[in-house]
Chain A
Amino acid sequence: MKPKENFPQRLDVSLLVKRILPLGLLCLTWLAVSADEFTDPAAPTLTLTNVSSAQKRITFTPFPSADVFTMLSVTNLGGAWATNGGGAFSNLTWTGSAGASNTFYRLQVTPLASNALLTATALNRLGYGPTPDLLDRLLQNSGTNSAAAWITEQLAPETITERAVLAHTNIAYIQGRFGTPSNALVSSSAVTTGIGTTATSDLQSWLVLDGVFADRQLLEVLTQFIENHLVTYAGKSANFFIGIGFRDATPNRAPCEFEWREVSRWRNVLLNPTGTFYDLLKISAESPAMLIYLDTYASKGSAGNTPNENYSRELMELFTMGVDNGYDQSDITNMAPAWTGWTVELVNETNWNNPFAAKTTIKINGASGAYTNLYGVWTLNYKSNNHANSAKTIYGGKYVPARFGAPYTNKLYGANVTPGLYQLTIPSRTGTNGMTDGYDIIAHLADLPFTQEYLSVKLCRLFVHDNFSTGYDYTDPNLGAEGQLVKACMAAWEGSSPKGQLRPVLATIFNSSLFRSHGGNAQKVKTPLEFCVSAVRALRQSTNGTGLHGSWASYTDGYGLTLSSGGAQTAGKASPLMRIGSMNLFNRDAPDGYPEAATSWVDAGGLVERARFISSLLKATGQTGKNDDNSFLNNNITLPVKLLQIRLPNAADQTNATKVADTFLPLLFPGEGRASLDAYRTVAVNSLNTDDTGTNSSPFASLTVSSTGGSTYDTRVRGMLTTLMSLQRFQEQ
């Protein structure tokens, strides 16, 4: 699909404040400007008041991403409109000069340039928020240094040189300790270095570090999306090991290995230009974490047992088709026997990739033969004795609903010979052949229009806005913009070969009017993860240009966002992500994953914790309250004056409150435009000119510039940033 550039260019909103009577009694006229999310926003409404009979004041309603407001006037409608230099704008008010003669007025809005707006949208959605250096690069709007070029680049992450590992030493340190599927579990807590010694808390830290520093931003966003969509719960894996008597480091390390195994395999798919949803789903189905999480590991279909329905239900409801979208309880009941026999086992290292291997017999040196003393790899294992061998029919007699339209209703699904029938018939299978049942199911599910629809909807919610749903009538000639985009995503899914590739679907979204148009900007609220990572990134510029560890104006060691000071995620001492919204990465207990919608995250308690995190982040090292009851918060560092000195090098400017505010405002709110930010500029300037009490005036201009933590100047700048980053607009992406 051809990218559309639907941003309004300079918009002469052509609003006439028309003088009718010489006394200044005026009526307002506005020319119709079509207003929908794809094209131009509605023009502001103007209201005229008299300050005095000879001084006019015009107030007007907001306009999105307005860069410049200009008031034009003309005394005679036949004449040429000219800028009225006599008045002044303040927020959404223009006040004319006193004693001006009666004139006609016209407000002109220059919106943010389309590349600038797309830069803001892209960095916030395809990535974890803008950084100063990325803004500098993309705003050049030339060659590869533009928003559109960056999007193209992000869609092919394998072509991007990843430098994150240089930016913080923790990344290499943690990565070097992740386990591999073929290495035996390191169950002894006496061993703390080397492969296989990470716990889930390390994985959490690694994920946020990558979010802060990675060049492959979209890869990071998609990693978290898939991890959250095909969600598992490391804590349940830990309970599994405790339950069967494995102690020492096993309950900490094996769950992390399981999660990492999923993540690293998913990333390989995402780095593959033709990676499909089936590939991702297969990794999830084979993951020990999933087998334990949704109880498949213990589900038996052999005589006298009722198979556990948990995985079958969530596989359809949450991972593929979407709730009540093409299946019912009978399909869950009919599918559950197919998954029986899929379990996990401790096998010899050489058997790490053999699901039919027997339990290992190798013992830890000098130990007895008890299960818990065995040494090896925990992996997917198929136990044919537990399997229900009988034939199975799922979706018996079910047809693709008419709302999907052609080609879906007249397509042949699987082995069916009737168009639109998506019945899945599994023959009776014995022995290890029974394992094929599961693979048949995921291959079938990955091809169904319901799955295409639900995954497209979830991606649109992630990248566009919250209000997409399944169930559109794609044959409706009046199908709305959201339905049309989902339909286009499904067509991209269906049209790729092999089918179900993610990149064509993503490209469809990023090239859509909904994403690129004016209305695409700032429609979403950041999740706690996005909020915390974006806050660090907002001020993250290398202070010497090297991008090397230790050179950043803002950084975290990762643990500062994810770790509680008690080790476990306990109340009171919890991590910022936990405090803001109980976002315990890799440890979501409910299988629906962390929500994407704003309504799930925005409430007073969460907003207080967001503001507290910002306060802590912006405090200088050693300032009271920096740790906020969790010493790991000391590892989130900001040096805003260093950043300021790079971007505003003239010393005289550094005590100019307006210039300082205008240095930071475009970094924090790049999608808003200078004119739209007028009110926030006032807040920032007031903050700089007020002492800590919040009431006593203390001119910023008379402070001595200093980047030393605790100095009045440094504290004042930090206070201003704390305020701006605690406000509503910083919650948005």
Chain B
Amino acid sequence: MPYINTITRRQFLRNSLRAGAGLGIAALCRVPPFACRALAEGNIGLNGKKLLFIFLRGANDALNSCLPVKDTAFTSTLRPNIWIPQDVPSYYDTLGACEFPTGLASTFAHTNALRVGNGFAGLHPSLKFLAPAYNAGELLMIHRVGYPNQSRSHFDSQAYWESGEPNSASREGIFYRTLVESGVLAANPIAGVSIQSALPTIFKGSGAALTNISDPTRYDLLGTPTPNADNKLSNAILNANQAQFANKRSRELLQLSYQNLSSTLDLFATINFDETGNTFADDVATDIGAAHYNLFPTTNAKNGDGTTAGYVVDTGAYSFFEQLKAAALILNNTDAVIAGTEMGGFDTHDNQGGITGDHANLQSRIGWAMYALRKYFQLNANKVSWNNLVVVTLTEFGRTSAQNGNAGTDHAEAGLMWVAGGGVKGYGKAGRTSGVLNCGTSDSIPWTVGPSGSMFGVAGRYLQRTTDYRSVLGEVIREHLGATQNQLNSIIPGYADSGEHLQSAGVSSVDSTQVTGEVDVV
């Protein structure tokens, strides 16, 4: 009976969290560390490893990120108005490092798809800042990622990615379960933190409230009503949390969230989230000229070299980088284990743009985010180093191979994940000659070309999946964060079903699609 222990312990933790809620935060914090340890197996929260996630909401157009330039069906007829020009085909045959054009007249002046160096794929030039991490072997680009019976509804599919349970009504988050399984929540009220407008499903669950902060510079009370009455209000709220009322549908959620508020209010006080604290800069001349660019572009002056030509991201990107910076600072300066944020705007049905335009702008943010996070954690490591961090992106699905009548793309199937970190097995590591997976001819499930190839593998219209997103997240949760396989079977229930082939290659019993299983990301 291999699950007895897991279930019992998990149940115990949930119950103890509930009990803690009733008793107040003091009781929550007083769970002795040894008790947590005795309860938990695995190393989540103990091995110093952390995770940062970025959800790309709206469904990123994977075929406009990592371009299958050697697919004979990938032509400008397929995408006439959003086409990314290419060099001569032979240019992309050369194997090796990813092209990283710098010192141009403007940051994104390069007008052709970049050579990734796997002999097959190209990279949208707005993603050029992925190249340094990629060439260091610290970034993987995993194409053709999806799940069985892919939903093309944003809201369902986002929920499936976030719950780790495709086509299930569950809205309990995969990272919520990761932290509940770990046992760290009992002693660490900020084990999971999101920085966005509201707590994402990925962190939601009924047994504990994880922390969401919409604006870290304002995570403080305002007083009752004189400013020096902060304590009066926070003490009153803390006391009133003890008040017992009859149960109603939302009261457990409110109680847990108020407890979370009371216990986290002081934890961030030592971190400077303001603009004055945004002083993190590159250690080398970054691109144009000799300037060491600011890592977190939150103002025009901190965007590249501060000139329009030198901007590394579009000017609409600043609030995202505020949030990304906060997530990075929290991981680096507190005991948070998983932190994340989101970026919207990827639902590019209309005027998606080509070399420039809406989607190019969004991608510049992804490229620079990866560049900046790597440098930030390499140069400023405190509670976590780049080697102990994994950054993952999630997005609900990919977009149609062919453009629609509005110079945009519609909802489709498989998409693309980026995974980065000092310990990631990228280009040049673990015998890999490329950091692109599933977009080449030498992958275990090769990209098939032509009008009946991979780009049209589902319903004659959509990119067919090769790797399940759960296999990527599952491997990160086990191999990086330190879950045992036993824990992982609870965190991602699909792992417990060998027919799903999340771990090893095979044919999915759900929809008879050949999948890779885990792809050795870390």
Partners in one complex: yes
Chain A 526-546, CB-CB to B under 8 Å as 1, else 0, gives 000000000000000000000
Q: Does B459 contact A (CB under 8 A)?
A: yes
Q: Quick one: which of B219, B235, B349, B408 contacts A605, CB cutoff 8 A?
A: B219
Q: Does A447 contact B (CB under 8 A)?
A: no
Judge whether B233 and A723 touch: CB under 8 Å: yes
CA distance A256 to B411 in the complex (A): 29
Given A308-B405, A581-B197, A608-B221, residue A680 in contact with residue B246 (CB < 8 A): no
Q: Does B406 contact A (CB under 8 A)?
A: yes
Judge whether A604 and B257 touch: CB under 8 Å: yes
Q: Does B184 contact A (CB under 8 A)?
A: no
Q: Quick one: which of B57, B222, B403 contacts A616, CB cutoff 8 A?
A: B222
Q: Which of A589, A592, A604, A726 has the most chain B CB atoms inside 10 A of its CB? A: A604
Judge whether A572 and B229 touch: CB under 8 Å: no
Tell me which residues across on chain B come within 8 A of A313, comparing CB atoms: 152-153, 411
- A594-612 with Cβ < 8 A to chain B: 598-609, 611-612
- A569-619 with Cβ < 8 A to chain B: 571-572, 579-582, 589-590, 592, 598-609, 611-612, 615-616, 618-619
Judge whether B153 and A243 touch: CB under 8 Å: no
Q: Does A636 contact B (CB under 8 A)?
A: no
Q: Quick one: which of B197, B220, B237, B406 contacts A726, CB cutoff 8 A?
A: B237
Given A525-B250, A683-B239, residue A615 in contact with residue B222 (CB < 8 A): yes
Q: Quick one: which of A62, A243, A306, A731 contacts B244, CB cutoff 8 A?
A: A62
Chain B 212-241, CB-CB to A under 8 Å as 1, else 0, gives 111101111111111111011101110111
Judge whether B218 and A609 touch: CB under 8 Å: yes
- B387-444 with Cβ < 8 A to chain A: 402-406, 408, 410-411
Given A604-B212, A723-B233, A728-B258, residue A62 in contact with residue B245 (CB < 8 A): yes
Q: Does A91 contact B (CB under 8 A)?
A: yes
Chain B binding surface, main DSSP class = loop
Q: Does B308 contact A (CB under 8 A)?
A: no
Judge whether B410 and A310 touch: CB under 8 Å: yes
Tell me which residues across on chain B come within 8 A of A606, comparing CB atoms: 198, 212, 214
Judge whether B152 and A615 touch: CB under 8 Å: no
- A673-689 with Cβ < 8 A to chain B: 676, 679-680, 683, 686-687
Tell me which residues across on chain B come within 8 A of A523, comparing CB atoms: 248-250
- Tell me, rounded to whole Å, the shortest Cβ–Cβ distance linking B223 to chain A: 6
Tell me which residues across on chain B come within 8 A of A598, comparing CB atoms: 249-250, 253-254
Judge whether B249 and A467 touch: CB under 8 Å: yes
Judge whether B236 and A683 touch: CB under 8 Å: yes
Tell me which residues across on chain B come within 8 A of A611, comparing CB atoms: 221-222, 233, 237
Q: Quick one: which of B153, B236, B246, B406 contacts A694, CB cutoff 8 A?
A: B236
- Segment among A199-207, A297-305, A345-353 that sits at the interface with chain B: A297-305
Judge whether A605 and B212 touch: CB under 8 Å: yes
CA distance A657 to B284 in the complex (A): 65
Q: Does A215 contact B (CB under 8 A)?
A: no
Q: Does B359 contact A (CB under 8 A)?
A: no
Q: Does A75 contact B (CB under 8 A)?
A: no
Judge whether A323 and B236 touch: CB under 8 Å: no
Judge whether B232 and A719 touch: CB under 8 Å: yes
- Segment among A368-376, A472-480, A620-628 that sits at the interface with chain B: A620-628
Tell me which residues across on chain B come within 8 A of A601, comparing CB atoms: 198
Judge whether B222 and A692 touch: CB under 8 Å: no
Q: Does B351 contact A (CB under 8 A)?
A: yes
CA distance A603 to B228 in the complex (A): 25
CA distance A466 to B255 in the complex (A): 17
**10 tightest CB-CB pairs across the interface, nearest first?**
A694-B232, A679-B243, A582-B197, A64-B246, A615-B222, A603-B199, A603-B212, A605-B213, A305-B405, A719-B224
A-B contact pairs, 20 of them (CB 8 A): A62-B244, A64-B245, A294-B349, A306-B405, A308-B406, A329-B459, A525-B250, A572-B215, A582-B214, A590-B58, A599-B199, A599-B253, A604-B212, A615-B224, A616-B222, A618-B224, A625-B227, A683-B236, A693-B228, A727-B240
Q: Give B residues with C-beta under 8 Å from A.
A: 57-58, 151-156, 169, 171, 197-199, 204, 209-215, 217-229, 231-233, 235-237, 239-251, 253-255, 257-258, 260-261, 264-265, 319, 322, 344-345, 349-351, 402-406, 408, 410-411, 459
Known A615-B224, A679-B242, A728-B241; further 19 A-B contacts with Cβ < 8 A: A300-B405, A525-B250, A590-B154, A590-B344, A602-B199, A603-B198, A603-B211, A604-B212, A605-B198, A605-B214, A608-B265, A609-B215, A625-B222, A679-B240, A692-B228, A693-B232, A694-B231, A719-B225, A728-B251
